[in-house]
Structure 1
Amino acid sequence: MTTVLSVDGVHKVFGARHVLRGVSLDVAEHEVVALIGASGSGKSTLLRCINLLEPVDDGTIGLDGEDITDPRVDPDRVRQRIGMVFQAFNLFPHMSVLANVTLAPRRVHGVPAAEARDKAMALLARIGLAELAPAYPDRLSGGQQQRVAIVRALMNTPRLLLLDEVTSALDPELVGEVLALIRELRGDGMTMLLATHEMGFARQVADRVCFLDGGTLVEQGPPEQVLGEPREARTRQFLRRIIEAGRLPISGTG
């Protein structure tokens, strides 16, 4: 099995806060790995380190066997192979959907405008938003904006897709359409690492669930094991709070 991502002993410190404490994690080709844990556990910071938005203080991160944390590595070149979708949609309000989606391929990666447009329209059509290509973000619902943000991340056909709490800014009734798109990407074999508070979704879509607590990877395994029969006391305590809050349906259908 080909390893796409290899995180080895990564530490990240912000002032007095030790946010990541020796995290090690591999993601295989076509695998979907869900990161769960309370706010502040290090999930988002780990994703930002992988996308080279934050430098690591110790440890290494490898992408297809290349140490991308080597200071000689060009971050822009690495980001051509990694797509990232954030909690906030980060769409430019003064640009149309089509312009938002094609901006980076045209300006950063030198893709001809016609080629970028054709690919963008094909992706937008696939998610049922082709007719909104000329619209501006303020005309779209939150769910539509987040799906556009995912399309933007797919424009370079990334080797790895990082998803950081992509449903957290959405109204509950809009969450489903974004999760459906992620499910579809999984069916296509996209390699994904996603941080999520949607426990029922993690149970359904992930091949593996990793529980982070205090910057440490406490437990990982198949969803049915980690979410159903956790071995570690800290995992059980976290899931107990989630269940009490009604965010982990016992059936896993939420």
Structure 2
Amino acid sequence: MTLTDQSAQRPEPTPDPGPGLLACRGLRKSFAGRPVLDGLDLDVAEHEVVALIGASGSGKSTLLRCLNLLEEIDDGTIHLDGEHITDPRIDPDLVRRRIGIVFQSYNLFPHLRVLENITLAPLRVHRRDRAEAEAQARELLDRVGLAEHAQAYPDRLSGGQQQRVAIVRALVNSPRLMLLDEVTSALDPELVGEVLSLIRDLKADGMTMVLATHEMGFAREVADRICFLDGGRVIEQGPPERVLGEPTEPRTRQFLRRIIEAGRL
């Protein structure tokens, strides 16, 4: 079994306005009258890794939350596997079974052991057999080097270990799409590598991912495409070497110049 067993049955597709696994058209989202997403378009092909970069407030995290239906969009459409998942008639809980999301703050339940954190959703939401759910969880923990910590509480783990547990918890439902929101930004520098190594493994397994990151070196290495967000829109996108090395948009060049000056590229 790989980290990304994607054998789960897919729903019957409906007409899709764009190619690939994910298609976003004209997404708009405002908070207190301030636009955060302003007509954003994005397509993601199956098995593609897309890195979202941009200054704080450019809309990266809001976009990920909208993709997982944690935030309701004001306008636009999102299609997953050809299904219009922002249709008001769609059950968001059924959609979230196909989308895993991991935040920078881990969000593990402190009163539950590692194994219990991972199997909570499969047992309570998906009504899976306990023995089957625990066997899969243990196999994934073994794959990420945490098998011996299955009965530990989260506060007994390092930050990097907790983040790997959070990623395994998202993977246990065999999602079609993984969303990663600055998953290394809360870690000490020496712990970043172990999380990035896991994400590389996910890429090797063929997992489709959209990740927001300030780690430009990592984005260059793991992403198939980089999208630079500014003002709630994708204003430049392309292969990492081109976007990071020879950006065409003045706003992208300005952003990267500041990244270079800060020693982060």
Using the size of structure 2 for normalisation, the TM-score is: 0.93
Please point out which of 25, 50, 61 is paired with 2:67. 50
Once the two structures are TM-superposed, the CA of residue 2 in structure 1 deviates from its matched residue by 6.2
1:153 paired with 2:170, answer yes
Q: Distance in 1 between matches of 2:26 and 2:128?
A: 36
Name stretches of at least 5 consecutive residues in structure 1 with no aligned partner: 249-254
Q: Distance in 2 between matches of 1:227 and 1:199?
A: 8
Q: Distance in 1 between matches of 2:103 and 2:211?
A: 10
Q: Distance in 2 between matches of 1:110 and 1:70?
A: 26
Instruction: Give the structure 1 partner of residue 134 of structure 2.
Output: 117
Instruction: Kindly provide the amino acid, as one letter, of the partner of residue 158 in structure 1.
Output: P
Instruction: Kindly provide the amino acid, as one letter, of the partner of residue 191 in structure 1.
Output: T
User: 1:129-208 to 2 correspondence within 5 Å?
Assistant: 129-208=146-225
* Residues 39, 233 of structure 2: 8 Å contact kept: yes
Q: Structure 1 pair 197/36, CA: closer, same or farther in 2 (3 Å)? A: same
Please point out which of 78, 87, 95 is paired with 1:61. 78
Instruction: Give the structure 2 partner of residue 102 of structure 1.
Output: 119
Once the two structures are TM-superposed, the CA of residue 132 in structure 1 deviates from its matched residue by 0.1
* CA RMSD after TM alignment: 0.9
Q: Displaced runs of 4+ in structure 1, greater than 2 A?
A: none
Q: Structure 1 pair 111/2, CA: closer, same or farther in 2 (3 Å)? A: farther
Q: Distance in 2 between matches of 1:231 and 1:11?
A: 25
Q: Distance in 2 between matches of 1:214 and 1:189?
A: 31
Q: Distance in 1 between matches of 2:183 and 2:138?
A: 22
Name stretches of at least 5 consecutive residues in structure 2 with no aligned partner: 1-17
Q: Percent identity over the alignment?
A: 75
What is the aligned residue count? 248
Using the size of structure 1 for normalisation, the TM-score is: 0.97
Please point out which of 98, 101, 105 is paired with 1:84. 101
* Residues 2, 29 of structure 1: 8 Å contact kept: no
* Residues 87, 169 of structure 1: 8 Å contact kept: yes
Q: Distance in 2 between matches of 1:177 and 1:10?
A: 34
